Amino acid sequence: MKQPKIYTLFITLTLLFFSCRKDTPPTLPQSTVTGGKRLIICNEGGFGYNNAGISVYDPVSNATTINAYASANTNPSLGDVLQSLTIYNDKYYFVVNNSGKIVVCDKNFVRLTTISGFLSPRYMQVVSANKAYISNYLLPTNPNQTNYIQVLDVATNVITKTIRLDGWPEQMVLSYGKVYITNQNKKYVYVIDSSTDQMDSIYVGSPSLGIVKDANEKLWISCDADASINTSARLVEIDPLTNKLQDSVSLNTTQNSISRLSINGNGTSLYYLMNDAYKMDIATHAITNIIQQGTHTFYGLCIDPNDETIYISDAGNYNSNGKLLRYRSNFSATGTYTVGLIPGYMLMD
């Protein structure tokens, strides 16, 4: 049987754990949110419980704020399942998946507006001064469950268009005026010309999830394993100038798929989770198992672009506050911090 992907696993586990949940996570002391460099942690919250939140870690003061959004707003509810974050024009765009909305905040996490009209938004990619693409799992107007990219005018916060796309669109990256989109149940990476919205596709042989851009402007995509057809998890390289596959690195496992594909600040090393945490040099393709999961539940990953500090979130039992694990660039542990419920997507600002 194919190994469940991280989002399928998330839904299954949260339904399991929350079906017997008897209380809510404890309220923990808050520290003050400060300006400057900081790690923003998207706490998904329990599926269907409307308890998503935002935690912040300040590497200078070594302080953690567990509920930054709730502390900054009179209405503390952010929504149901905080999927991802995009930073644009000094604003935070929090994509709240199960609530079908994007919550826009200032740098103090004060809500500026809420953009509705999405069914199940996943990720946001800004492509110009007044245009962004939003990947959506489904739209209610489609009886055949065809998926779409929704086009958002970021100047007016109005959804202006939908672009039909087969499968489950996920993460996106912009390169040479084109947006490359991974897909969780099709064996293609889709490509949209951001000026015309015309779409093309690139066959990669497996469903895909993560995508990053390296120092050479090449794209790396994490392709899923599939034991039923003896397909190994792979890291695939695409040249965006030609839209051709340039390389494929097998990870020699049909049992585990890659999650949280990331890249360091100078674009020379890939990082990812596959139970443990791994690092791959893009030039030599040398792969190192850098941090073992052990008794933790590795769930999120972020690499500081400046000093290559490694941040891994631990979802624990998916029913109580998670942990943030901090490691130096030499992979030695340097701190553990309590954060919110099911910490997933993380971004350094």
* Domain presence at residue 127: yes
Residue 2 covered by a domain: no
Both 207 and 296 in a single domain?
Answer: yes
343-to-92, 104, 139 alpha-carbon distances in Å: 17, 19, 27
Same domain for 85 and 147, yes or no, is yes
DSSP state of 53: E
157 belongs to a structural domain: yes
Residue 22 is predicted with a pLDDT of 29
pLDDT tier, 144 (very low <50, low <70, confident <90, very high otherwise): low
Spell out the alpha helix ranges (H) of 143-280.
none
Task: Clarify whether residues 298 and 202 are in a common domain.
Answer: yes
pLDDT of residue 20: 33
Return the structure tokens found at 162: 């939908």
> Does one domain contain both 129 and 178?
no
pLDDT reported for residue 139: 53
Query: In terms of domains, do 208 and 285 share one?
Result: yes
Q: Which of 165, 193, 217 is the last residue of a domain?
A: 165
pTM: 0.89
User: What band does 112 get if pLDDT is binned at 50, 70 and 90?
Assistant: very high
Q: What is the mean pLDDT of residues 284-293?
A: 98
Over range 222-232, report the average pLDDT: 95
The reply to whether 160 and 192 lie within a common domain is no
Tell me the average pLDDT across 93-115: 97
Burial status of residue 293 (CB atoms within 10 A of its CB: 0-12, 13-18, 19 or more): middle
221 in a structural domain: yes
pLDDT exceeds cutoff 70 at 222: yes
User: Are 177 and 301 found together in one domain?
Assistant: yes
**Is residue 248 assigned to a domain?**
yes
Using the predicted structure, report yes or no on whether residue 339 has a pLDDT greater than 50: yes
Token pair in block for residue 251? 């990870």
Q: What is the mean pLDDT of the chain?
A: 89
Assess if residue 139 is contained within a domain. yes
Instruction: Confirm if 43 and 55 have CB atoms less than 8 A apart.
Output: yes
Q: What is the pLDDT of residue 137?
A: 83
Instruction: Please compute the mean of the pLDDT values over residues 90-114 and round it to a whole number.
Output: 97
Judge if 159 and 177 occupy the same domain: no
Of 165, 186, 210, the domain-final residue: 165
Q: What digits encode the pLDDT tens for the residues 31-73?
A: 334 445 999 999 999 999 999 999 999 999 999 999 999 999 9
333 within a domain of the structure (yes/no): no
Question: What are the tens digits of pLDDT across the range 242-280?
Answer: 999 999 999 999 999 999 999 999 999 999 999 999 999
Are 139 and 191 contained in the same domain?
Answer: no
Least confident of 31-40, 143-152, 250-259, 292-301: 31-40
Question: Using 50, 70 and 90 to split pLDDT, how confident is the model at 24?
Answer: very low
Nearest CA to 308 out of 284, 332, 340 is that of 332
The predicted pLDDT at position 142 comes to 53
Same domain membership, residue 282 and residue 193:
yes
- Considering the domain architecture, whether residues 191 and 215 belong to the same structural domain is answered as yes
Domain stops at, among 165, 200, 220: 165
Phi, psi of 317 (to 5 degrees): -100, 10
CATH number of 116's domain = 2.40.10.480
Residue 228 lies in a domain: yes
Shared domain check, 206 and 297: yes
Domain that holds residue 139: 81-165
pLDDT of residue 1: 36
Give the pLDDT score at 166: 86
How many domains does the chain divide into?
2
What ranges make up the beta strands (E) of 206-307? Answer: 208-213, 219-223, 234-239, 244-250, 259-263, 269-274, 276-281, 287-291, 298-303
